[in-house]
Amino acid sequence: MISTNIDQEIKQAMLAKDQVKLRGLRAIKAAILLAKTEKGQTEEINEDAEIKILQKLVKQRKESADIYKSQGREDLYQVEQEEIDVITQYLPKQLDRSEVEAIIDAIIAESGAASVKEMGKVMGLANKQLAGKAEGKLIGEIVKSKLS
């Protein structure tokens, strides 16, 4: 589980006076704690849920970084980029485009999907199989191109 390692990593970052890593780790810890204490949360957060939380953190930071870059705020862009680098260390290795395409080809062949009308079915299977290993945007883009 990611959350069990985070506390130790925070202590090490504090001792090393690594402010960049410390900021990223604290963001991860805060997001996981928030998810654990959300209203209606009854079960313990598993590793899959933690990965989804981390993916959401990375996505938010990428969006913010893009905005800062377009507005010429290199200082704020750099902060977001540093946090992205720290958070992605705790995510599974991301597959490259060709690997994702191969998996989606197999899913399409297995499901028998032949048109864009069946995109939802393929997307559901692909998202389940590629969870944490590829961005949803990339998966959707590839599925759409393969089915059209």
Query: 3-state DSSP: the chain helix, strand, coil percent, rounded to 5?
Result: 75, 0, 25
pLDDT of residue 119: 86
Q: Are 116 and 146 in contact (CB under 8 A)?
A: no
pTM exceeds 0.85, yes or no: no
Of the residues 70, 88, 106, the one at which a domain ends: 88
- CA nearest neighbour of 22 among 104, 107, 79: 79
Which CATH number fits the domain that encloses residue 125?
1.10.10.410
Provide the pLDDT confidence category of residue 9 given band limits of 50, 70 and 90.
very high
pLDDT reading at 54 higher than 70: yes
Question: What are 137's two structure tokens?
Answer: 């945007």
- Domain range enclosing 133: 97-147
Based on the fold, state whether residues 31 and 83 are members of the same structural domain: yes
Out of 46, 65, 88, pick the residue that ends a domain: 88
Average pLDDT, the chain: 88
Query: How many angstroms separate the Cα of 3 from the Cα of each of 9, 21, 105, 147?
Result: 10, 15, 35, 39
What pLDDT is recorded for position 63? 95
Q: Is the pLDDT of residue 40 over 80?
A: no
Find the CATH number of the domain harbouring 62: 1.10.1510.10
